[in-house]
Amino acid sequence: MITRMFVQVCLYFYCKCLWRCLKFVVRKLTGQCELQRICYNTKPGAARTMKIEASLKGSKSKRLQTSVSVHPDAIEKTIDDIMELKRINPDINPQLGVSLQACLLQIVGYRNLIAEVEKLRREMYDSENPQHEEMLLKLWKCLKPNSPLKARISKQWCEIGFQGDDPKTDFRGMGLLGLYNLVYFAEWDTEIAQQVLSDSLQPKYREVTKKEPSQFSKAEWEKKKLDKAIGYSFAIVGINITDLAYNLLVSGALKTHFYNVAPEAPTLTHFQQTFCYLMHEFHKFWIEEDPLDIMEFNRVREKFHKRLLKQLQNPEMALCPHFAASESLINM
């Protein structure tokens, strides 16, 4: 065991030294540092920004390592420091400064977005806070404009997918972030949100073939015959998809998407638009999976999560480059 660890440590330092020697040789041959080669040879987007981020983090210089976590207002000064440290003349290489600025805005912006999202997640819903209450009531009005809420504490909340007569208890897992996302979806993509809500409540009639019963046990088929509803709670699923989006963000999986869609710093709006996209896509995925009942939710969610992770491994991937309500769901 100790021998194995020793070999791994030696291999790590050998590869690290070899890589630095290789970088030194390439710089001497090309006359360009690694940052220059990346900026000049890689088109703008996730591929370039992620390479710049890896290069800065992997640098032996502490100044370069910390450049990915500076305050947005300090980015221009940081770029000047990088150019000075790398002995690059900005007058001869003006495009390098522009490219580095775009990359650093995305890198720093992503870190700040995580902090902003985390702050919302940690803030619990407070029924004594007028702003919280106002947002909750706005959610109802956007989703059920023709059905006035009879009382703040009411079984009517179950009609939009909450578990009881007071939604505040359902926000404990994701805090205000869950409410923010649901309100954004309902307010800015109202038609799709109302359609998804309606679908989640309505039976899903489909033609039953003669072959189909043979694919299930008798008990499964009897249950499937009687339970043809799409069958999930809109609000609860929305909070769950918020959790999925949050984990994709924190793990760094969403870097590919945000670095491709946000020309500068990704913002909370980008995150909320991504949530809308995920709600839309999960709804279609749920229908395609045709689960027996809501007890299969975790299986379907995990399968959906794995599909997203696979998509986001592609450096060209943008989940919703120009997010807009999709007509495909309305015509489904």
What is the Cα–Cα distance from 268 to 143, expressed in whole angstroms?
22
Cβ distance 113 to 177 under 8 Å? Answer: no
pLDDT value at 209 more than 90: no
Backbone angles phi, psi at 325, to 5 degrees: -60, 130
Predicted local confidence at residue 46, as pLDDT: 95
Please state, for a pLDDT cut of 70, what percent of the chain lies above it. Answer: 78
What is the Cα–Cα distance from 277 to 322, expressed in whole angstroms?
10
pLDDT averaged over every residue in the chain? 84
Predicted local confidence at residue 101, as pLDDT: 94
210-248 as b/e, with b when 16 or more CB fall inside 10 Å? eeeeeeeeeeebeebeeeeebbbbbbbbbbbbbebbbeb
pLDDT value at 44 more than 80: yes
Task: Give the pTM.
Answer: 0.82
What is the Cα–Cα distance from 328 to 284, expressed in whole angstroms?
10
Cβ distance 60 to 51 under 8 Å? Answer: no
Q: What tens digit of pLDDT does each residue of 59-89 get? A: 889 999 999 999 999 999 999 999 899 888 8
What is the Cα–Cα distance from 258 to 253, expressed in whole angstroms?
10
Chain position carrying tokens 């500068």: 264
Banded pLDDT at 227 (limits 50, 70, 90): very low
Predicted local confidence at residue 135, as pLDDT: 97
Predicted local confidence at residue 205, as pLDDT: 45
Banded pLDDT at 231 (limits 50, 70, 90): confident
Q: For residue 203, what are the β-bridge partners? A: 229
Task: Find the mean pLDDT for residues 127-141.
Answer: 97
Q: Tokens at residue 14, please?
A: 């050998």
Q: Mapped to the 3 state alphabet, what secondary structure does the chain carry?
A: CHHHHHHHHHHHHHHHHHHHHHHHHHHHHHCCCHHHHHHHHCCCCHHHHHHHHHHHHCCCCHHHHHHHHCCHHHHHHHHHHHHHHCCCCCCCCHHHHHHHHHHHHHHHHHHHHHHHHHHHHHCCCCCCCHHHHHHHHHHHHHHCCCCCCCCCCCHHHHHHCCCCCCHHHHHCCCHHHHHHHHHHHHHHCHHHHHHHHHHHHCECCCCCCCCHHHHCCHHHHHHHHHCCECCCCHHHHHHHHHHHHHHHHHHCCCHHHHHHHCCCCCCHHHHHHHHHHHHHHHHHHHHHHCCCCHHHHHHHHHHHHHHHHHHHCCCCCCCCCCCCCCHHHHCC
The number of C-alpha atoms within 13 Å of 12 and in the hemisphere containing its C-beta is 6
Banded pLDDT at 142 (limits 50, 70, 90): very high
Predicted local confidence at residue 11, as pLDDT: 62
Task: Find the mean pLDDT for residues 160-187.
Answer: 95
Residue type, 326: S
Chain position carrying tokens 């995305």: 106
First to last CA, the chain: 58
Predicted local confidence at residue 292, as pLDDT: 81
What is the Cα–Cα distance from 34 to 24, expressed in whole angstroms?
9
User: Would you tell me how many other CB atoms lie within 10 Å of the CB of residue 293?
Assistant: 12
Residue type, 228: K
